[in-house]
Amino acid sequence: MDVKILDGGFSGQLSTHVGAKIDGDPLWTSRFLATNPDAVYATHLDFLRAGADIIETNTYQVSVSDLMKYLSITKEDGINLLQDAVRLAKKAVNDYMKEIKGNDNVGNRNPIIAGSCGPYGSSLHDGSEYNGSYGKSTPRETMIEWHKSRIDSFIGAGIDLLALETIPCYQEAEMIVKLLREYPNVKAWLSFSCERNSRNLADGSNFQEVISRCYKMALPGQIIAVGVNCLPPKDVTGLLKDINKGSGSEFLPLIAYPNSCELYSPGIGWIEDKNCPPFESFIPEWLELGVRYLGGCCRMYADNIRSVRKEVYNYRQRKGI
């Protein structure tokens, strides 16, 4: 069983390196590509040292047009900044590999980089990325242009794969998979934002029907995993169960990187969910369901990723695999 460990929530870990405001900024962590690239590099290195096999660029909610708008820069400069996100991650990987040279006790010896591509709704700053309502009203061409600008930038910078993540509506999911087909040599994972305590996407669409349709739409082997992110850990199993049930069906590699066991309240911030079992306690059942890419999203720090890697190791030891 080959399980790849992802990094955690970039914003949270970045906050350990900077004193500036992060949440609420229209560019979110991407602003630091221009204002504090050293902190971006240091955050990547934190996750690599914690055992991440895959780190993501800090580009979740931006495109070239967003960088142009909020930094008052040219299109060329916007492209360069997006490519800087890849270059900083590459620098962290290269330096980390030099750091671990000769150390046979390190598990993540060949880390790779995923270009973070969050949903179009995250650029609207109206909360619609949490319900997917924009999927019905936004022209397909508008979403394509927004996504394509950064995908082209990532590919130009030599990205390893794409993280098509936190997608809340089926319209955008199908659009982005069709767009992906235009890049036959590029691989990606596809993860969704879902309703709490349900088996639906944030827009109410049936989760398993949408992922099945999208997986079949992609070119063979192009989507390396499908799954969920940015949700409470306790909601993961209900969404992923039955996908790989039955020996007659094709095995579908799954990905899960939920939030910590905390809940976000507007105006208050993050509040501990005292009824949530420890994050690590969910990992064995997720692995049994077919999760092969595992990490964390909001409020999951480098120390949490270290614990995730340890739990995966313990699981494999118990199973003798």
Q: Which long-range contacts (CB under 8 A, 24 or more apart) does 67-75 make?
A: 67/27, 67/30, 70/26, 70/27, 70/31, 71/27, 71/31, 71/34
Identify the CA nearest to 55 among candidates 115, 95, 113, 1: 113
Higher pLDDT, 267 or 280: 280
pLDDT at 225: 97
Q: What is the 3-state composition of the chain as percent helix, strand, coil, each rounded to the nearest 5?
A: 45, 15, 40
- Give the residue from 237, 229, 238 showing the smallest Cα distance to 293: 229
Position 267 confidence tier, pLDDT thresholds 50, 70, 90: low
Would you say how long the chain is, in residues?
321
- Output phi, psi for 250, to 5 deg: -70, 135
266 pLDDT tier (thresholds 50, 70, 90): low
Buried b (16+ CB within 10 A) or exposed e, 136-171: eebeeeebbebbbbbbebbbebebbbbbbbbbbbbb
pLDDT digits (tens, 9 = 90+) for 163-213: 999 999 999 999 999 999 999 999 999 999 999 888 999 999 999 999 999
CA 105 to chain centroid: 27
Percent of the chain clearing pLDDT 70 (strictly above): 96
230 labeled part of a ligand binding site: yes
**pLDDT on residue 268:** 64
b/e per residue 184-203 (b: at least 16 CB within 10 A): eebbbbbbbbbbeeebbbbb
Q: In a 10 Å sphere around its CB, with 0-12 CB exposed, 13-18 middle and 19+ buried, how is residue 24 labelled?
A: exposed
- The one-letter code for the residue type at 240 is L
**pLDDT for 23-34, tens place per residue?**
889 999 999 999
pLDDT at 102: 86
Judge whether 210 and 173 are in contact, CB under 8 Å: yes
Predicted pLDDT at 178: 96
Write out pLDDT tens, residues 219-254: 999 999 999 999 999 999 999 998 998 656 788 999
Element housing 256 (H / E): strand 254-257
CB 222 within 8 A of CB 185: no
C-alpha gyration radius of the chain: 18
pLDDT band at 264 (very low <50, low <70, confident <90, very high): low
Q: What is the pLDDT of residue 115?
A: 98
pLDDT at site 105: 87
Label each residue of 44-111 as H, E or C: HHHHHHCCCCEEECCCCCCCHHHHHHHHCCCHHHHHHHHHHHHHHHHHHHHHHHHHCCCCCCCCCCCC
Pairing verdict, β 223-229 and 254-257: parallel
Question: What is the predicted pLDDT for the residue at 262?
Answer: 72
Angstrom distance (rounded) from CA 81 to CA 51: 27
Per-residue pLDDT of 123-172, as tens digits, reads 998 888 889 999 999 999 999 999 999 999 999 999 999 999 999 999 99
**How many angstroms separate the CA atoms of 182 and 224, rounded?**
17
Mean pLDDT of the residues in the chain: 93
Segment 47-57, tens digit of pLDDT: 999 999 999 99
